[in-house]
Amino acid sequence: MISSKLPKIFYGGDYNPEQWDQQTHQEDLQLFKQAGIDIATVNVFSWARNQPDEVHYQFEWLDQLIDSLYESGIYTCLATSTAAHPAWMAKKYPDVLRTDKDGRKRKFGGRHNSCPNSPTYRKYSTEIASRLAERYKDHPAIVVWHVSNEYGGDCYCDNCERAFRVWLKKRYETLDALNTAWNTSFWGHTFYDWDEIVLPSNLSEEWGDDNTNFQGMSLDYSRFNSDSMLECYQLEYDAIKTIVPEALITTNLMGFFKPLDYFKWAKQMDIISWDNYPGLDTPVSYTALAHDLMRGIKNGDPFILMEQTPSQQNWQAYNSLKRPGVMRLWSYQAVAHGADTIMFFQLRRSAGACEKFHGAVIEHVGHSNTRVFRETASLGSELQTLGDTLLDSRIESKVAILFDWDNWWAIEKSSGPTIALKYVDQIHKYYKAFYDRNVQVDVVGVDSDLSAYELVIAPVLYMVKPGLADKLEQFTQNGGTFVTTFFSGIVGETDLVALGGYPGELRKLLGIWVEETDALLPTMRNQIVMDTPLGDLNGDYECGMLCDLLHTEGAEVLAHYGDDFYKGMPVLTRNTYGKGEAWYIASDGEEAFIDGLMKFIADQKGIQPVLDTPAGVEAGRRVKNGEQFIFLLNHNAEAATVELHDLQTTNLLDPHHTGSSIEIPARGSVILSASYSS
């Protein structure tokens, strides 16, 4: 479990009493008891209060806060306060201020406003982390340490440019190797001195977000920027660990956040935490996918849901309320996908500034007689009943989807063949085919062990890193089924094209050669014409966006194109490789095609859903010590009935329920326990 001090699902969230007077704080403590709140994240943005100038620190207010929470039965997730530097620091040491992509130096303001390669920022952020660790190392209230907050952004200052050159020297060692990796003979860009290299920005090689003349250089800047921020995190992490070796340290991630390679970050985090903020129109399958990514970056370990709103956001274009029951429903969805906490931003609504309309457990009215508070208190009571029952249970999956940040960056900087290709959208399409059938999926990285899986899917595997092709060949050779799609096997890790024919290093495994790729206009469509039925997959299906024109080199053709000059050419192939199979999908097929194909392959492998449920009812499973916990989550606006057949279960939230079926209210959640053997 996360902490033996609090042996249950943590329930609480971000709390900022420095914005309020002492009387309000005392009222909050009483309301927290009513709501079942047992943990508060504090000190996230308090650097200016903690350190009013260069030499003085004042933590007395924090002493009183942590003590008063603890005396009320509330534990602390203690942040280091370094998410926004103080104004005095920006005034005296302007190197802490970021420079934007257009070369403009920022002034003090906002947050995430510190240059990650600023010596000043690194010095003082490490110092305050050390002082906090020394002061609170023995405090019984502290259960988690929280470094900074939602790292992100980028910087193009002189410090970053110098640091980029150092990073490049470590990566490539020689300028000859760098010039080769970046193909600098193109446009006469050959470098003869490290100091000739400048950051790729709107002043040099780039324009806008994903447009660049030199993909290899821009890709390396993305890697460098992620690594620079990770170094800042690591400095604070090490400062705390030096003083509190047993400290459990995290920082809150943000799901599919493009600027940071979370697989690399996860290796330096004791436990993953992340902030979940879907909109009213976000597909629930996408939210589930994000949870599974956050679980996957730490090899399936349970994670902390650090933030969600109990009611509404403030920063989206349309900040809709969560409908009655949805807060509870989405909270249990997080638990179903691996969370061992349910936490909110925020516990009390701010009175001013940009988050004053962000939802909170305690609304501006300041009392408990609100819909949101009643729902929050009800969930808090349920979590008390559940106790430690679900803690440390795991999710067992036979299906894995491969995800890689380098691949994401490279695809969307690729300068063709189409602006319509979005990596995460493709990942979601294939994930949804399993989600809709209640087949559990792990999201894994290129370094992950694949031996436990029956089926591995790598949509748009554009970049094939060293050793990955061999790993996929071994997986398939041993009996696994591998699936990939159009625009795969194109480049290596420096974004240089794999010469000798696409799909490069995957060519032998897939048994095909891709000669050309056609980019269709948004209004254009082609057809996937099945040659023979594959289960329920039969007839014609629409496809579009990209169409690979391929030739077989041993693979079996299962479907062909129905239109254009490449009518009759293969669009779906299957290659026997050792004891397994490798499938190639040469175009972006419609949902019915992807669903049908994934169902056929899963059925072939004997991969079964957790339960069969009506549309809109999600079924997930966590497992511990021979017991399974089945989550039934009704995302519909009306009640639904799930057949349990001969499954002998106990309803953890309603022990009086028995029977071979169960009715789940609109937007309701049920957790069942039953014996389990894998």
Structure tokens at 396: 């067992």
Which of 614, 622, 613 is CA-nearest to residue 335?
622
Strand partners, 587: 547
Measured distance CA(12)–CA(124) in Å, rounded: 29
Measured distance CA(304)–CA(145) in Å, rounded: 12
Measured distance CA(142)–CA(135) in Å, rounded: 11
Position 460 scores a pLDDT of 98
Helix, coil or strand: residue 653:
coil
Position 436 scores a pLDDT of 98
Ranges under pLDDT 70 in the chain: none
Measured distance CA(137)–CA(73) in Å, rounded: 19
Measured distance CA(348)–CA(432) in Å, rounded: 36
Q: Is 134 known to be catalytic?
A: no
User: Which pTM does this prediction carry?
Assistant: 0.98
Work out the burial of residue 140: count CB atoms within 10 Å of its CB; fewer than 13 is exposed, 13-18 middle, 19 or more buried: exposed
Contact indicator for 57, 38 with CB cutoff of 8 Å: no
**Catalytic hit among 150, 205, 206, 363:** 150
Position 553 scores a pLDDT of 98
Amino acid at 264: K
Measured distance CA(187)–CA(291) in Å, rounded: 44
Contact indicator for 293, 400 with CB cutoff of 8 Å: no
Q: Is 161 known to be catalytic?
A: no
**DSSP states along 236-294:** HHHHHHHH-TT--EE-EE-SS-TTS-HHHHHTT-SS-EEE----TTS-HHHHHHHHHHH
Position 213 scores a pLDDT of 96
Amino acid at 297: I
Structure tokens at 162: 């110098």
Position 677 scores a pLDDT of 82
Position 657 scores a pLDDT of 73
**Catalytic hit among 205, 236, 307, 581:** 307
Position 50 scores a pLDDT of 98
Query: CA–CA distance from 484 to each of 14, 242, 369, 456, 666 (Å)?
Result: 41, 45, 53, 9, 37
Which of 426, 444, 439, 404 is CA-nearest to residue 601?
439
Q: Among the residues of 19-98, which ranges form H helices?
A: 22-35, 47-50, 60-71, 87-92
User: Which residue has 């790598």 as its token pair?
Assistant: 458
